[in-house]
Chain A
Amino acid sequence: MKTIFENGGEGRAAVQFSDDQYPTEAPKIEDRFRRKNLKIPEVSEIEVVRHYTTLSKRNYGVDLGFYPLGSCTMKYNPKVNEDMAKLEGFTNIHPMQPEELSQGALQMLFELQEMMKEITGFDAFSLQPAAGAHGELVGVMMIKAYFQKHDKKRKKILIPDSAHGTNPASVTLCGLETQEVKSDGNGNVDLNDLRQKMNDETAGLMLTNPNTLGLFDQNIIEICKIVHEKGGLVYCDGANLNAMVGVTKPRDAGFDIMHVNFHKTFSTPHGCGGPGAGGVGVVGKLASFLPKPMVNQTNGMYHLDYNIPDSIGKVKSYYGNFGVLVKAYTYIRALGPDGLKRVGQNAVLNANYMRVKLMKHFDLPYKRICQHEFVISDRNMPNGVTTMDLAKRLLDYGYHSPTIYFPLIVHGAIMIEPTETETRETMDSFIETMLKILQEAQTTPELVKGAPHTLPVKRLDGVKAAREPVLTAR
């Protein structure tokens, strides 16, 4: 399909401005500062609308069908949230306008901070990070700042072998070192390995819980105890909060810091990769290290509080992805305590339902009750059919694929997270399709290996894309 740059014709424009509303005097900008050429297409409104509508039809979202992308929590995004974020009183307000003129926005942020403290159990909660990985960065910066103040030699962060790639990358971006901790045969952190590696140079442990196998670590209390006894801090990667929301509070297990992905657990849409929002909760002794500002309240007036003595500073301009937070706020207020508990419970019910049905036919390496997701391997797949082939064949049947080849500790991993918003019928159809593909792998393996067959393009050459990068239109 042509790009927008190949459309249109000279002199066309979709936006016009009438001169009579503006002053006429030309600006005095020296010629050496003036732009000489601008290569922007000239297209009419109908061309723009048809072009991007056609592109939208070459895309796939939750509103079209099942999206069991593990660790990404692709739940339904309630429409009312979108309408709230689009209200003029939220979209057309400037972050530097006087606080008296932004009381509604500040009140919303304050109340969301308070509700997040209750949901996660932490003593203080910042809404500034723009995404989960940004929240991780804040968390690791805070760990670093905390030990810069209290115990400078602690520069190592332990990370389990099942962790998301963002964890070690966040550590590096803060100039700290990572050390890997093994998982045991049950999918928990190997306690002996943890004990051995935890020493007086270790700043802490970053742990995803439930982990990327979809398992709640059975030794969680002991893990936090081991790290704390040796003077470290425990960080919770909250990517998988959906499994526990309303059921347990991460702080109560012993975590000191946690980031939350609002675009996962709290239903704000993923928008093809963003914008998200990633809050960070901390225990009391770390509250003075949070990013500034926080939102506070005195005598019924809401204000930005920059008085945070050990603050790591700012990680984003202004106060976070406000528009995304409006959606999360709306969602939490709509659901309330009972609704949130139903989220956690049914996310876990749906995952277990799919797990027991699929484990009869696929290899399930960790045979335990799972939380919001589970991971199967490619071990039972016949005729050299791979996880990649299965994933691509699912696209032909109108499903998005699960997360594949992650976590790295499962061979040919297929990570399935249905979320709580799917019906039993949808899950049954998906399971049926998985079995059908398994059968195709037996009888017509080439059909599966050549998938997808029904989409605008067949399998794309990633090696070529990386070897001869073409990153802009000519």
Chain B
Amino acid sequence: MDFVPHTRKDIEGMLKEVGVNSLDDLFRDIPDNIKIKGGLKIPASLDEKSVSDLVGGLSKKNVNSKQYVSFLGGGCYNHFIPSAVAHLVYRSEFYTAYTPYQPEMSQGILQAIFEFQTYMARLTGMDLANASMYCGASALAEAMMMAKNHTNRKKIVISKAVNPEYRQVVQTYATANELEVVEIKVGNDLATDFSEAVDDKTACVIVQYPNFFGTIEDLEKISALAHSKGAVAIASVQEMYSLGMLRPPGELGMDIAACEAQSFGNPISFGGPHLGVIACKTDLMRRIPGRLVGKTTDSEGKEGYILTLQAREQHIRREKASSNICSNEALCALAATIHLSMLGKSGLQKASEICAKNATYAKKRFEGLKLHLLNQNIYNEFCVEIPNADKVFEKLVEKKFIPGIKLWKYYPEMKNGLLISFTEMNTKKEMDEFFSALEGSL
């Protein structure tokens, strides 16, 4: 099947108008010896029914979170998405549109993104937020670049309790820019102790909030330390539901919140598309990468929205741009905006509280089994040590539980450590089932 509407007659008629004899004549600028002969060697075409069966079959070869009870988090969180979100996001005026380069014809998405920016700024306690980035990890790497350009310094101080996936991305961008990355170990309660690490060569201090292990880091102390040396303080927030309960980074002195907002309105989808976003204080406004929507007026004084501060961007500034980003994750931002509107103040507070309550309950249950918790000051996830964790993990998977993330894969010293995460998708009943399965697997 294909989606070309032309009949043979249409094609012949159009070729005549163009003044050539065949479709091949349209490709006369391509040397003959590099033209494909005998067709591409990929599987033959399929009709719609067959392709649905084929792809549907692949989807069934995966185990999804409705089949197994999962306590996986660590940067991707399974939250309840109300039906209205997909119904609205999949209005094709939204999903089949391009970047709003013609603002008069794109007021719908421009206003929605303006609302998104507002939500993100308010949640993080910052002055402004951009219209989205590829993912939380690339947002963090670009936040680091903002700090580098802002301070003209080349040393990056980052906590080892930042998601390992994110640290790898930060390292990639840093290597390309010849920046030095210093990783800081965790101490008491798996919180980061930056005290010796920050000096007057430090461009930025990067900390995750709550951190990868689930610990709520003391941002007030960290931002004060960064500022005392003239460095930019960056918080990576990956579970945005936490901000329904926890003080936001902006209120705690942080300069930039580089976030992953997948939790709002976007399914986990094997890790993408997700929703990166950078929020910051006003003094960094002109360094922020990516699209920004601003409010303005039309020629008759009526309010409207438009892409703004484009002098930062690649299509205007080319090699002097603040970033090369062009496409972003606009539709994911729309989903987040609608989901947040659905939740509202009470819904977000409630859901946020449930995540924390579930974790509180689980902590008790682990302690009841005499298992050692590695951290206490947490929001919705924490680390636990389970003797022979690898074997126990396998037994639990056989019983259709995915108990968490194996920490030793990323931190070899954390042998037998599991990172276990809770959202409002986990009920008490399924947690109880999990703990009896765990008890039987130890």
| Given A17-B350, A175-B177: A336 touches B45 (CB 8 Å cut-off) | yes
Closest A residue, CB atoms, query B55: A84
B60 touches A270 (CB 8 A): no
Q: Is A329 an interface residue (CB 8 A)?
A: yes
CB < 8 Å: which of B137, B268, B324 contacts A133?
A: B324
Question: Closest approach, in angstroms, between the C-beta of A424 and any C-beta of chain B?
Answer: 5
**Contact residues of B between 306 and 334, Cβ < 8 Å to A:** 306, 308-311, 313-321, 323-332, 334
Question: Closest approach, in angstroms, between the C-beta of A403 and any C-beta of chain B?
Answer: 8
B44 touches A336 (CB 8 A): yes
| Given A55-B112, A58-B107, A317-B271: A270 touches B134 (CB 8 Å cut-off) | no
Question: Closest approach, in angstroms, between the C-beta of A144 and any C-beta of chain B?
Answer: 6
Q: Is B99 an interface residue (CB 8 A)?
A: yes
Q: Is B420 an interface residue (CB 8 A)?
A: no
B19 touches A356 (CB 8 A): yes
B297 touches A42 (CB 8 A): no
| Given A57-B108, A101-B402: A96 touches B72 (CB 8 Å cut-off) | yes
- Give A324 to B95 CA distance when docked, in angstroms: 12
A27 touches B172 (CB 8 A): no
Which candidate, B182-190, B197-205, B227-235, B238-246, is the interface stretch facing chain A? Answer: B238-246
B82 touches A15 (CB 8 A): yes
| Residues in A whose Cβ lies below 8 Å from that of B361 | 23, 25
A421 touches B175 (CB 8 A): no
B60 touches A12 (CB 8 A): no
- Give A445 to B160 CA distance when docked, in angstroms: 64
| Given A72-B98, A333-B51: A316 touches B135 (CB 8 Å cut-off) | yes
- Give A104 to B48 CA distance when docked, in angstroms: 20
CB < 8 Å: which of B40, B74, B323, B348 contacts A246?
A: B40
Question: Closest approach, in angstroms, between the C-beta of B115 and any C-beta of chain A?
Answer: 5
**Contact residues of A between 442 and 474, Cβ < 8 Å to B:** 450, 452, 455-462, 464-466, 469-473
Q: Is B347 an interface residue (CB 8 A)?
A: yes
CB < 8 Å: which of A87, A345, A421 contacts B23?
A: A345
| Given A101-B63, A178-B319: A318 touches B270 (CB 8 Å cut-off) | yes
| Residues in B whose Cβ lies below 8 Å from that of A472 | 114, 117-118, 121-122, 127-129
- Give A395 to B357 CA distance when docked, in angstroms: 52
| Given A272-B97, A345-B26: A48 touches B84 (CB 8 Å cut-off) | yes
| Given A92-B66, A421-B3: A175 touches B93 (CB 8 Å cut-off) | no
Closest B residue, CB atoms, query A176: B176
- Give A403 to B14 CA distance when docked, in angstroms: 24
A144 touches B397 (CB 8 A): no
**Contact residues of A between 31 and 69, Cβ < 8 Å to B:** 32-36, 38-43, 45, 48-49, 51-64, 67, 69
A21 touches B45 (CB 8 A): no
A107 touches B51 (CB 8 A): no
**Contact residues of A between 233 and 259, Cβ < 8 Å to B:** 244, 246-249, 252-253
| Given A175-B176, A462-B308: A105 touches B270 (CB 8 Å cut-off) | yes
- Give A165 to B132 CA distance when docked, in angstroms: 19
Q: How many residues of A contact B (CB 8 A)?
A: 206
Question: Closest approach, in angstroms, between the C-beta of B332 and any C-beta of chain A?
Answer: 6
A455 touches B104 (CB 8 A): yes
Q: Is A279 an interface residue (CB 8 A)?
A: no
CB < 8 Å: which of B176, B244, B326 contacts A144?
A: B176
| Residues in A whose Cβ lies below 8 Å from that of B99 | 270, 272-273
A320 touches B324 (CB 8 A): no
A90 touches B62 (CB 8 A): yes
CB < 8 Å: which of B163, B340, B349 contacts A317?
A: B163
| Given A40-B348, A90-B62: A466 touches B176 (CB 8 Å cut-off) | no
| Residues in B whose Cβ lies below 8 Å from that of A217 | 29
CB < 8 Å: which of A11, A118, A133, A455 contacts B346?
A: A11
Q: Is B272 an interface residue (CB 8 A)?
A: yes
- Give A5 to B91 CA distance when docked, in angstroms: 22
A89 touches B61 (CB 8 A): yes
| Residues in A whose Cβ lies below 8 Å from that of B109 | 55, 59, 272-273
Question: Closest approach, in angstroms, between the C-beta of B18 and any C-beta of chain A?
Answer: 5
Q: Is A131 an interface residue (CB 8 A)?
A: yes
A61 touches B104 (CB 8 A): no
- Give A472 to B62 CA distance when docked, in angstroms: 41
CB < 8 Å: which of A35, A69, A131 contacts B98?
A: A69
A271 touches B331 (CB 8 A): yes
Closest A residue, CB atoms, query B33: A252
Q: Is A82 an interface residue (CB 8 A)?
A: yes
**Contact residues of A between 395 and 444, Cβ < 8 Å to B:** 395, 400-401, 403, 406, 420-424
Q: Flag B85-120 by CB within 8 Å of A: 1 or 0 each.
A: 011101111111111111111111101111101110
Q: Flag B31-58 by CB within 8 Å of A: 1 or 0 each.
A: 1001110011111111110011011111
Listed A/B pairs (30) with beta-carbon separation below 8 Å:
A11-B346, A22-B428, A25-B361, A27-B357, A36-B247, A41-B345, A43-B344, A75-B3, A85-B269, A89-B58, A91-B269, A94-B65, A140-B176, A172-B324, A252-B34, A275-B330, A316-B134, A318-B165, A321-B134, A339-B1, A340-B40, A349-B18, A423-B5, A457-B298, A458-B299, A460-B304, A465-B296, A469-B285, A469-B292, A471-B128
